[in-house]
Amino acid sequence: MAEVGYAHFSAREVAKRIGYSIGTIYNVFGSLDLLVVAVNSRTVGLWAATARARLNEAGANRIAALVEGYFDFAERNQNLWMAIYDHHMPEGETFSSDYVEQLGELIGIVETEIVGLLPQLGSGEAGTLTRSLLATVHGHCVFALNGTFALLGVHDPRHVALARVREALAAASGNVPP
Amino acid sequence: MAEVGYAHFSAREVAKRIGYSIGTIYNVFGSLDLLVVAVNSRTVGLWAATARARLNEAGANRIAALVEGYFDFAERNQNLWMAIYDHHMPEGETFSSDYVEQLGELIGIVETEIVGLLPQLGSGEAGTLTRSLLATVHGHCVFALNGTFALLGVHDPRHVALARVREALAAASGNVPP
DNA sequence: CCAAAGAATTGAACATTGTTCAATAAAATA
DNA sequence: TATTTTATTGAACAATGTTCAATTCTTTGG
């Protein structure tokens, strides 16, 4: 996946590279979809670990460290990261519990920082704000990677994304009765 | 594409449905990639037209109309809209000029509103802010459609996205020397 | 240590796909 | 009408996801 990307990811090629036959892949994972889900769950796990590492060596500005970490991870693991969003569950299927777990950990890391910064927030509000900030950074990251920003003359997506996050945090800290 | 989505979109099926042979498709479009690009360019064109229509029947809050229009278009044309982002140019290829043109129109519509709201902004700043707001809404829309928000208990993605946009606009109007 | 039961692995077989390209049909031109 | 240009075809090829009876390996019970 890291080498060829989602579009050219193939169960047969995986089998070849790990020295098993195509049949074994299907016995273990059940379908290409589920194999991709397994890969993506692992990627989210790596992502969470990277975020944690970034926070450990972060200075005073931990939010900036998270935003930078987001962009860095996506850029350095483009194919893996994009595969998370290129893949869609077949209609009616639900997220695998493994995936949900890894994603929960990643979001928990961010939420802890938000709560640390804005302890006045109720837990529901903090949760919604966390997911909204992740969505904000996600959007900027997508446009940075797929060339939409470059095409339109936005040269520093990270800086812009961080600005949006700061504004949202400032607004949240001001809007809450003390 | 609207029916089966990007993952199951097939040149052969297109040929069958329009009553031509597979060879003709390839003579006209050159490859599946370019056929998808043609479909996506058309989708962006529809999208721009929808946004314009929304503004025409909008009340005082034109920004809210744009955000609502964004979500509505994506939700009502899920497969078409997602295909825009599911498809990636093969390494080294550039955007088709048709696609760039349609996208430019869509962004122009939004930028006009931003400039109307914040005429103090320099044109470079207005451009960057426009793209950043689009990225913000895009991120919220992706999470709304792919189920990430629902999975995590965010129930009103539109409202949250609009809140982020409002905060960014408020910050921009305050930060610029009058 | 061996034989039988269980588990893991295989790869041929099938349906579909993207892609190519010589052959054919249709249209335009002289 | 004869010729050239353009458009269209679909068989052929390589590659893919998926299935499943046959095979190999492992474990177990005596």
Mutate to test the interface with A, among B164, B169, B176 (most CBs of A within 10 A): B164
Residue in A131, A118, A128, A138 with CA at minimum distance from that of residue A178: A118
Residue B152: pLDDT band with limits 50, 70, 90: confident
Q: What is the pLDDT of residues B20-47, one digit of tens each?
A: 999 999 999 999 999 999 999 999 999 9
Residue A178 has pLDDT above 70, yes or no: no
Measured CA A1 to C1' D7 distance, in angstroms? 40
**C8: residue with closest CA to C1':** A24
Mutate to test the interface with B, among A134, A167, A169 (most CBs of B within 10 A): A167
How high is the pLDDT of residue B42?
Answer: 97
Residue B178 has pLDDT above 50, yes or no: no
The C-alpha atoms of residue B103 and residue B106 are separated, in whole angstroms, by 5
CATH superfamily of B33-175: Tetracycline Repressor, domain 2 (1.10.357.10)
Domain range annotation of chain B: 33-175
Choose which CATH entry (3.40.50.300, 1.10.357.10, 3.50.50.60, 3.40.50.2300) describes domain A32-175.
1.10.357.10
Asked if A173 and A118 touch (Cβ cutoff 8 Å), the reply is yes
**What Å distances lie between residue B162 and A131, A133, B70, CA to CA?**
14, 13, 11
Q: Which two tokens stand for residue A20?
A: 């098993």
Option in B138, B148, B163 nearest A142 (CB): B138
A23 CB contact with strand C at below 7 Å: yes
Mean pLDDT of A74-86: 98
**Residue A40 or A151, more confident:** A40
Mean pLDDT of B45-72: 96
Burial string for A14-48 (b: 16+ CB within 10 Å, else e) reads bbeeeeeeeeebeeebeebbebbbebbbebbbebb
Measured CA to C1', what is the nucleotide nearest B24? Answer: D8
Mean pLDDT of chain B: 95
The C-alpha atoms of residue A157 and residue A141 are separated, in whole angstroms, by 7
Residue B11 has pLDDT above 60, yes or no: yes
Mean pLDDT of chain A: 95
- Least CA distance to A88: which residue of chain B? B146
Q: What percent of chain A has pLDDT over 70?
A: 98
Nucleotides of D under 7 A from a protein CB: 7-12, 15-21
